[in-house]
Every structure is written in C-alpha cells, then in structure tokens.
Amino acid sequence: MTDLIYQTQSYQQQMTATVTAVDEDANGVYLSETIFYPGGGGQPADVGTLTDSSTGTVYNITSAKRGNIHIIEGTLPVVGTEVVGQIDWDRRYKLMRTHTAMHVLCGVVWKDYGALVTGSNMDVLTGRMDFEFERMQKELVQEIEARINEEVANAHDVEIKILPREEAFQIPDLIRTKINLLPEGITEVRTVNLVGLDLQACGGTHLKNTSEIGPIRVTNYKSKGGINKRLYFELEP
C-alpha cells in the first residue's frame, strides 16, 4: 500500500520513498509513499521529478495516475531504489488555488441559490463549473462574482478529514453534484470543509485558507442546454 501524503499534507513539496514495483508497459513506478496527486475531480495530475538518492540520477515524472503509478520519461529506476520526489510546486500551488476557488463558487451558488453542480473542469488558474440554473444573465453573473470574492476575503479556514463512509454520509448535502460519483465500494470518504461556507466530499488538493486564492474573475457564461448553465473563471497569476 502506498502512503498517500497528498491527501492530508497538500503543502508538502518533497518526500523520500522506495520504488516498490515497476510497470514497463506504462513506463511507470509505484512508490512506498507519494506526494503526487494522480488527478481526478477535474484537477490535473501533478508532475515533477524523482532523484536516485545514491547516484543522483533524475527521472522526470510526466504524470501520476489512479492506482498511484508515476509515469516516467525514459529509463525506469529498479525496484528497491530510494528516491527523493519533488513536485512542480509552482504549478501545484496554482492548482490548489484554482480548486479551492471552485469550492468557494460551489459553496456560494449552493448557499445563495440552491443550485447543484452538473459538471466541472479546471486547469492552472482557470476553470469552469456547470450548475442547475433555469436562467443566467449578466446581472446574476456579476452578483455571483461579487459574492465569491466576498467569501475569499472572509478568509475561511480549510479543513480536511477522512471519515468512515457511514459517518460521512450523515453530513447533509455532502454530495453537491447532480450524480453521486462515489462508488459503493469506497469505505472511507475524504471531506473538504471551507469552514462556514462549503463542506463536501472531494479528493483534490486545497489551500489552508481561502484568502490565499486571490481575486476571482468570472470571464464568461453560457447555456449548455436545458437548465445547465456554465460559468468560466480565472485567477490572477
């Protein structure tokens, strides 16, 4: 089993681990522990490097994937090699800002308008979310933009917990998506709580406080058919 450091320590930028297995077909390695987020929930996977502790050989990680395999460019280290992992922190931190901004947006839209999320995606400092709105107009978008920036400035602490499934599902409105995406076989649920604003199940990496997000600008909106309305946003560099 791999120790998934990123689940509870999203600010950790480096770790020492052992290569426990290799997958030559995927050109990847499994590690005893990892800080590399494998992607999911719309958040891209981390990239970075592994450095052989003995020889200094550097291996570029081009992606991490579900099952915690780390895809490497070129030759693979052998099983038993001790390596130092380093994530691309500038990119990761911007993704953390973006993902936390999405929770602010989700929290405001749910709290103020009662609209469920029907889809989402994100990249570095940009993202989009789809909601169940019957109508969307410029005045409403401006109102939402003002509200989400108020909540950023309110400096909500962000708390991460991993709960037994039964306990997690006793939390009202834990699932904000139109469809519950959590498979029945999952026994533990990771929750992200923007204290006083938004509490929901999520596997991604987040900030410690919403004040780190910075200003959010809603750049566009459009109808995606029926009652699905899409909001696009971006953050400052």
Q: Looking up tokens 């709580």, which residue turns up?
A: 193
pLDDT of residue 186: 77
Question: Strand 48-52 vs strand 58-65: parallel, antiparallel, or unpaired?
Answer: antiparallel
User: What count of other Cβ atoms lies within 10 Å of the Cβ of residue 114?
Assistant: 10
pLDDT of residue 183: 61
pLDDT of residue 152: 98
User: What count of other Cβ atoms lies within 10 Å of the Cβ of residue 99?
Assistant: 24
Give the residues across from 199 on adjacent strands: 193
Q: Are 164 and 174 in contact (CB under 8 A)?
A: no
**In degrees rounded to 5, what are phi and psi of residue 229?**
-125, 135
Could you report the per-residue pLDDT of 161-185, keeping only the tens digit for each? Answer: 999 888 888 887 776 554 555 566 6
Instruction: Supply 161's token pair.
Output: 């917990």
| Ordered per-residue pLDDT tens for the chain, 237 residues | 789 999 999 999 999 999 999 999 999 999 999 999 999 888 999 999 999 999 999 999 999 998 889 999 999 999 999 999 999 999 999 999 999 999 999 999 999 999 999 889 999 999 999 999 988 999 999 999 999 999 999 999 999 999 988 888 888 777 655 455 556 667 888 999 999 999 988 999 999 999 999 999 999 999 988 889 999 999 999
CA 157, 119, 128, 9 dihedral sign is positive
Q: Are 39 and 203 in contact (CB under 8 A)?
A: no
In this prediction the pTM is 0.93
Q: Are 202 and 161 in contact (CB under 8 A)?
A: no
pLDDT of residue 225: 84
| Domains located in the chain, CATH noted | 3-87 (2.40.30.130), 92-235 (3.30.980.10)
pLDDT of residue 181: 54
Instruction: Name the nearest CA neighbour of 81 among 32, 42, 150, 152.
Output: 32
Q: Are 43 and 99 in contact (CB under 8 A)?
A: yes
pLDDT of residue 1: 73
**Cα separation of 15 and 75, whole Å?**
21
